[in-house]
Structure 1
């Protein structure tokens, strides 16, 4: 199970079974899912994905996956996991549109990166971003990610690969 992380305004904690409806709603929202993986999946596929968080990811301690809460409400999703194609760990994050525009994405991404550096002992973390996702590219640039290469996808599209290296000035944004 992943550890619980706290930032100034967010709580990242393991999912609970009762989070399924909120998880599915987040992943079914095309404003969110258009930027994740292969885009919007069927509701049944998202429910199956939620189930695998418990039966596979948590059960086998594969990587860290969190429900992201603000004021007790599920407002997002976060992960840090090994990615063999990238040769390191990738951060993944998503926030519900109701949480956009308040700096929570930056807070969330910084928390995941800090966990990678402080807890997992990583010296570099990656993010993959659709070139059209300007908000995510701006956010990642702001917190020190740099473009390292592009990947061609099976469908012919391009994905930007960005990386952030651990520096001497890195301080954990996680609250004590």
Structure 2
């Protein structure tokens, strides 16, 4: 069961039926979808995806997915799930555009990495970031992600596959 997570400014909550409209609004934003590396879906398709999260993803305990909130305001979406690109887990994050540039993305991803290490016991986590998404690439670099390879789609768009260790390699001499 997906737990509630907390960071200094954020609360990660499993989605509830009443959160559907904010999820739909997030994924209806063409710019957000472009940076997430996905085609913009119609509203009925997004609502079907949302209902699938509530019934299938949570019902079958497939992976962890959250709505992310700050002071009662929906700021975005987060997931940790197995990736089909390599043998490992991927962190997925998307912010509502009005919350970009406030440091919330870094806090959100760091919260996912802490959960991945402390709760899931993962030694590393992958991320997929569009090659043109310079802000997210800079964030990943600050968080210690390193480039694994470029993934080129059938349409020629390039996505950077990144990985970060969740293990503190610095010995504790205390």
**Does the alignment reach a TM-score above 0.5?**
yes
Q: Which has the higher contact order (CA 8 A, sep 6+)?
A: 1
How far did residue 169 of structure 1 move? 5.8
**How many pairs does the alignment contain?**
170
- Which runs of no fewer than 5 residues in structure 2 stay unpaired? none
- Give the distance between the partners of 2:167 and 2:127, measured in 1 at CA: 17
- Give the distance between the partners of 2:157 and 2:29, measured in 1 at CA: 22
How far did residue 31 of structure 1 move? 2.1
1:39 alignment partner in structure 2: 39
CA offsets, 1:44-63, max 9 Å, x none?
A: 11111101101110000000
How far did residue 125 of structure 1 move? 0.3
CA offsets, 1:85-130, max 9 Å, x none?
A: 2211000001111111110000000000111111100001000011
Three-state SS of the structure 1 residue aligned to 2:94 is strand
CA offsets, 1:37-80, max 9 Å, x none?
A: 42211111111110110111000000000000011121100000
Three-state SS of the structure 2 residue aligned to 1:163 is strand
2:112 alignment partner in structure 1: 112
Q: What is the TM-score with the length of structure 2 in the denominator?
A: 0.93
Match status 1:166 vs 2:166: yes
1:134 alignment partner in structure 2: 134
- Give the distance between the partners of 1:41 and 1:159, measured in 2 at CA: 20
Contact 2:117 2:167 in 1 (8 A): no
- Give the distance between the partners of 1:103 and 1:38, measured in 2 at CA: 23
Q: What is the TM-score with the length of structure 1 in the denominator?
A: 0.92
2:56 alignment partner in structure 1: 56
1:173 alignment partner in structure 2: none
